[in-house]
Amino acid sequence: MFELLNYTFFQNALIGTLLIGISCGLIGTYIVAKRMVFISGGITHASFGGLGLAYFLGFSPLWGATVFALVAAFCISYLANNKRFREDSLIGIFWSAGMALGVLFIYLTPGYAPNLLSYLFGNILTVTGGQLIASALLCGMIILFFSRFYRPLFYLAFDKDYYRIHFIPIAPIEWGITALIALTIVLCMKLAGIILVISYLTMPQAIAGMFYKNFTRQLWCSTLISCIGSIIGLFASVPLNTPSGVTIVLVFLTVFIACYIYKIVKTRSTRQK
Partner 1 sequence: MENIVELKNIAAAYDGNTVLHDVNFTIRKDDFIGIIGPNGGGKTTLLKVILGLLKPVAGEIIYHGSKHSLFGYLPQNSRFDARFPINVREVVLSGLLSEKGIFGKYTREDKNKADELLATYGMGDFRERPIGELSGGQMQRVFLCRAIISSPRVLILDEPSTYVDAKFEQEFYSLLHDLNQRMSIVMVSHDLGTICSYVKTIACVNRTLHYHDSNLITPEQLQLYNCPIELLTHGTVPHRVLLKHEPKA
- Which H or E run includes 28? helix 8-33
> Where does this chain touch partner 1 (CB under 8 A) — which range of 95-103, 114-122, 211-219, 228-236?
211-219
Give yes or no for residue 271 binding partner 1 (CB under 8 A).
no
Give yes or no for residue 144 binding partner 1 (CB under 8 A).
no
Give yes or no for residue 35 binding partner 1 (CB under 8 A).
yes
Give yes or no for residue 82 binding partner 1 (CB under 8 A).
no
Give yes or no for residue 31 binding partner 1 (CB under 8 A).
no
> Where does this chain touch partner 1 (CB under 8 A) — which range of 28-36, 86-94, 98-106, 232-240?
28-36
Give yes or no for residue 141 binding partner 1 (CB under 8 A).
no
CB 170 within 8 A of CB 177: no
Q: Which of residues 159-188 bind partner 1 (CB under 8 A)?
A: 159, 161-170, 172-173
**What length does the chain have?**
273
* DSSP codes of every residue in 194-234: HHHHHHHHHHHHHHHHHH--SHHHHHHHHHHHHHHHHHHHH
Count of residues near partner 1 by CB under 8 A: 30
Taking 3-state DSSP, the helix, strand and coil percentages for the chain, each rounded to the nearest 5, stand at 85, 0, 15
Minimum distance between the CB of residue 86 and partner 1, rounded to whole angstroms? 15
Q: Calculate the CA 267 to chain-centre distance.
A: 32
**Would the CA dihedral through 146, 193, 186, 72 be positive or negative?**
negative
Q: Which positions lie near partner 1, rule CB under 8 A? A: 33-35, 148-149, 151-152, 154-155, 157-159, 161-170, 172-173, 209, 212-215, 218
